Amino acid sequence: EAQVTQNPRYLITVTGKKLTVTCSQNMNHEYMSWYRQDPGLGLRQIYYSMNVEVTDKGDVPEGYKVSRKEKRNFPLILESPSPNQTSLYFCASSTSGRTDTQYFGPGTRLTVL
């Protein structure tokens, strides 16, 4: 089954404790992206990657890091999480020529205390 998977699905942590949210896709997509979803603000892009070793900032990259060492994986790293990063996070992927038709993962609900 073609899908985007994220882990963990739920995470409660404390300020300053480094964490990683993993994202993996099995569709051989070149393009991958991370979004956060907050009430009243919709989905906002954090980082995206056009292909392996190629990443770029989205609209709200502050406080986040990403890496793309393999085509299928695109982890999101919070080096020092803060309460304002409490949000619902989605990973998405698509073929490089169709970034407009992205497939989304199930989401990771992160709470930073």
* 102 touches other proteins by CB under 8 A: yes
Neighbouring C-alpha atoms within 13 Å toward the C-beta of 88: 11
Q: Which one of 13-21, 39-47, 64-72, 73-81 is the stretch in contact with other proteins (CB under 8 A)?
A: 39-47
Nearest to 63 by CA among 39, 47, 44, 79: 79
Number of Cβ within a 10 Å radius of residue 79: 12
Q: Which one of 17-25, 43-51, 60-68, 71-79 is the stretch in contact with other proteins (CB under 8 A)?
A: 43-51
Q: Which residue's CB is nearer to other proteins, number 19 or number 104?
A: 104
Residue 104 CB, shortest distance to other proteins, in Å, is 3
